[in-house]
């Protein structure tokens, strides 16, 4: 009887994990599409770049709201507000790159590489079912180091280190994708809204960082 209970509990656990994983990637796909739509609106409007301070305040404020409401329907509303806001802020950046002679090529290369990396890392975590909880320490340290670099960049010229900072964001985003997907698979994350926001932010940072790196490599 005890063995049957364990088998039943294990089966229920697998069903719940698969449900969270499915809901996460469904919501991620919808929010990415919505962010792309808002980026298109921003580009069509010729909206100005909001600047790092407004972008950071908007991002962290909405992330806080998402986490506070993640267990209610409001969580979905704030998730779309967050992803829509981030999509809108990327519009002026894309316009700037598309104004270059090879801008379209740079954007498509960055987007294609981001999609390939995201799918590859996610698939690796799902197929191997490895536990990536050991990355949590790296993510905590990396977050404060990268945020420190961003804040310093508001007051000092760190253009000489811009590629290194972007590379740091690429590594951080890749680790976050593995960690978050692994957390879902092993039952460490049971809320698909919070998981979606983490993966969306990873995709966003990975794309912008690769776009900057490719731009520098092509002397743009």
Q: What averages of pLDDT result for each successive group of 10 residues across the chain (220 residues)? A: 43 75 94 96 92 90 94 94 96 92 91 95 92 92 90 79 90 95 89 95 95 83
pLDDT at 218: 78
User: What angle do helix axes 162-185 and 136-155 make, rounded to 10 degrees?
Assistant: 150
Q: Return the SS3 of 200.
A: helix
What would the two tokens of residue 128 be? 């191997």
Contact 62, 81 (CB under 8 A): yes
Cα–Cα distance between 148 and 211 in angstroms, integer? 21
Dihedral sign for Cα 147, 198, 32, 215, please: positive
72 DSSP assignment: S
Q: In the chain, what are the domain boundaries? A: 2-217
Question: What per-residue confidence (pLDDT) applies to 7?
Answer: 42
The pLDDT value recorded for residue 11 is 45
In this prediction, residue 6 carries a pLDDT of: 46
Q: What confidence score (pLDDT) does residue 9 get?
A: 38
Counting Cα atoms < 13 Å in the Cβ hemisphere of 194 gives 14
Tell me which residue of 146, 163, 157, 161 sits closest to 217, measured CA to CA: 163
- By C-alpha distance, which of 197, 215, 220, 177 is closest to 32? 197
Backbone angles phi and psi of 190, in degrees to 5: -110, 0
Question: Cβ-count burial of 12 within 10 angstroms (0-12 exposed, 13-18 middle, 19+ buried)?
Answer: exposed
Give me the pLDDT at residue 51, please.
85
């Amino acid at each position: 009887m005890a063995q049957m209970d364990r088998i039943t509990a294990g089966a229920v656990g697998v069903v719940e994990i698969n449900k969270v994983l499915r809901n996460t990637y469904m919501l991620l796909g919808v929010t990415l599409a919505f962010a792309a739509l808002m980026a298109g609106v921003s580009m069509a409007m010729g909206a100005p770049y909001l600047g790092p301070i407004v972008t950071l305040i908007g991002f962290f404020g909405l992330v806080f709201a998402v986490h506070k409401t993640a267990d209610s329907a409001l969580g979905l509303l704030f998730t779309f507000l967050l992803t829509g806001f981030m999509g809108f802020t990327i519009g002026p950046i894309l316009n700037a790159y598309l104004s270059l002679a090879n801008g379209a090529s740079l954007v498509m290369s960055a987007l294609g590489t981001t999609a390939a990396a995201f799918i590859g890392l996610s698939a690796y975590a799902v197929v191997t079912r490895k536990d990536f909880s050991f990355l949590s320490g790296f993510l905590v340290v990396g977050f404060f180091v990268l945020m420190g670099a961003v804040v310093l960049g508001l007051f000092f010229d760190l253009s000489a280190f811009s590629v290194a900072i972007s590379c740091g964001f690429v590594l951080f985003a890749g680790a976050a994708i593995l960690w978050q997907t692994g957390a879902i698979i092993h039952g460490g994350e049971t809320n698909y809204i919070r998981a979606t926001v983490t993966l969306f932010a990873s995709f966003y940072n990975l794309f912008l960082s690769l776009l900057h790196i490719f731009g520098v490599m092509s002397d743009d």
